[in-house]
Amino acid sequence: MARRWNVDFPDSSSSSHPTVADPPGFARSTPDLDESSGSRQRNDTEAAWKSQKAWEVAQAPFKNLLMMGFMMWMAGNTVHLFSMGITFSALWQPISALRSVGKVFEPFKDPRVDLNLPRLLFIALNLGGMALGMWKLNTLGLLPTHASDWVFSLAPAKEVEFAGGGASF
């Protein structure tokens, strides 16, 4: 079906053919024209800030760890809904954090900032959190670490012989 009508708006955002003059005081190319010493200084402070932030982010799981530990202590060692929830969240949080380890440090990416150490600390702390979760799981008795966990549904062995009989009628 053919178009009945059509209105063409000129693309005003593109700066190639400006039809309307820029307002006074507006310089289209201001950031591009930034240069030399002032900008380098600013870059240094930014890198320092980024590195500081990266270390902060890397240390964040530690607080989490402490809180988790407290919660686990509160939850006790019996299997019920609360302790289960705590344990699974303690396991899940590090895992999800580890999966997104790249994304967490994305904003601080800078050629002048060494992100390896914060990253390692972040991973180590999260692994620590996971270990704590596993330890809790074990204390709850939910890890198959005993022989009983592997034989609890083992079918009885077949008997070779059969003896039938009893008292006569």
Partner 1 sequence: MEARFFLRFLLLLSLLSLSFSIYEDQVGLADWHKRYIGKVKHAVFHAQKTGRRRVVVSTEENAIASLDLRTGDLFWRHVLGKNDVVDQLSLSLGKYVLTLSSRGSVLRAWNLPDGQMVWETILQVSNPTDLLLHVLGNVKSGRDSLILACNGGFIGAVSSIDGVIVWKKELSVDGLKLKHVFQPPESDTIYAIGFIDTSQIALYHLNAKTGELLKHATQSSPVDLSSEISVISIDSLVVLDSTRSSLLLIKFTDGTITHHHKPLSGIAKDFSDTAELIPTKLNDIFVVKTPSSVSFVKVKGDNELELIEKSDQTGIVSDSLTLSEEEQAFAVVHHSSNAINFQVQINGREVLTEAIQIEEHRGRVKSVFLNNYLKTDKSHGFRALIVMEDESLLLVQQGAVVWSREDGLASISNAVPAELPVEKEGVSVVEVEHTLLEWLKGHMLKLKGTLMLATPDDMGAIQAMHLKSSGRNKMTRDHNGFRKLIIVLTQSGKVYALHTGDGRIVWSYLLTPLLQSQRCPSPSVLTLRNWRVPHHNALQENPSVLLVGRCGPSLESQGFLSIVDSYSGKELETLILDHSIAEVVPLPLADSSEQKLHLIIDNDLNAHLYPRSSDSLKVFIGDMANMYYYKVENAKGVVKGYAFKEGHGTGSSDEYCFSTRELWSLVFPSDSERIVATARRKMTEVVHTQAKIMTHQDVMYKYISKNMLFVATVSPKATGGIGSAGPDEASLVAYLIDTVTGRILHRVTHQGAQGPVHAVVSENWVVYHYFNLRAHRYEMTVIEIYDHSRADNKDLMKLVLGKHNLTAPITSYSRPEVTTKSQSYFFTHSVKTIAVTTTARGITSKQILIGTIGDQVLALDKRFLDPRRTANPSQEEKEEGIIPLTDSLPIIPQSYVTHTLQVGDLRGIVSFPATLESTTHVFSYGIDLFYTRIAPSRTYDSLTDEFSYVLLLITVVVLVVAILVMWAMSKKQDLQEKWR
Cβ contacts of residue 1 below 8 Å, gap of 6+? none
125: left (phi over 0), alpha (psi -120 to 50) or beta: alpha
Does the protein bind partner 1 through residue 148 (CB under 8 A)? yes
Q: How far is the CB of 138 from partner 1 (least distance, A)?
A: 10
Q: What is the residue whose two structure tokens read 């932030």?
A: 53
Does the protein bind partner 1 through residue 88 (CB under 8 A)? no
Per-residue mark of binding to partner 1, 39-78 (x: CB under 8 A) = ---------------------------------------x
Does the protein bind partner 1 through residue 166 (CB under 8 A)? yes
Does the protein bind partner 1 through residue 159 (CB under 8 A)? yes
Residue 68's nearest CA partner among 96, 94, 97, 99 is: 94
Q: What is the residue whose two structure tokens read 């500081």?
A: 52
Does the protein bind partner 1 through residue 141 (CB under 8 A)? yes
Residues at the contact surface with partner 1, assessed by CB under 8 A: 78-79, 137, 141-169
